[in-house]
Amino acid sequence: MTNGFLISFEGPDGAGKTTVLENILPLLRASLTQDIIATREPGGVAIAEKIRHVILDVTHTNMDPKTELLLYMAARRQHLIEKILPNLANGAIVLVDRFIDSSVAYQGYGRGLEIADIDWLNAYATDKRQPDLTLYFDVASEIGLKRIAQNKNREVNRLDLEQLDMHQKVRQGYLELSRKNPHRVFTIDASQDLELVVEETLRIIQERFKEVKNV
């Protein structure tokens, strides 16, 4: 296997995907010989982190949906070129907390922007690079928002302040993406105990990576 393996972690707010990613890192490093790189969107590199601050600032409530989308795309491009692709070229397994599907779910289904436009922008920003595997952590919007409210250590961002119906639309978007991309997107019940979610995540990654590596 000469090229690396790109795994995206996706889910609505409060699904716990970031916590799962943090818990899975030492397990993957213990079971696989490849370098394991963890990163996030928006962010991951200096320029993209600055864009992240603009996007998620709770005072930017008047941000236009198209402005929001284009900022995400700018951050994605810089992150891809500066961090993701170089590590993949070196044969690493890259775990990214959010990637192309987030834009479809949030700005497409959530904000009501044209899905076709978002797909084109994603392809343009990434040179059509898709994840080799996407893990979608599914949880009811009510549960996700309750988790956010109860987690005092979690930084509250602008998207967390959206109304319930926005979060429900985002979740439906993810479920639709999962249905349309069964070869790439694997759905995990994130309402389970964290230990069970981590176990299932590890199993899926190991099995899928073994399949690809042995091709």
Give the pLDDT confidence of 190-211 residue by residue, as tens digits.
999 999 999 999 999 999 887 6
Domain ranges of the chain: 5-213
Give 95's strand partners. Answer: 7, 38
Kindly state which CATH superfamily the domain 5-213 is placed in.
P-loop containing nucleotide triphosphate hydrolases (3.40.50.300)
User: How, if at all, do strands 36-40 and 185-189 pair?
Assistant: unpaired
Mean pLDDT of 46-61: 95
| pLDDT of 215 over the 70 cut | no
DSSP-derived 3-state class of residue 91 = coil
pLDDT at position 213 is 57
Mean pLDDT of 79-95: 97
Helices and strands (DSSP H and E) totals, the chain: 9, 5
Say how far apart CA 31 and CA 24 lie, in whole Å. 11
Give 96's strand partners. Answer: 8, 39
Question: Which amino acid, one-letter code, is at 152?
Answer: K
Choice among 96-110, 125-139, 144-158, 162-176 with the minimum mean pLDDT: 144-158
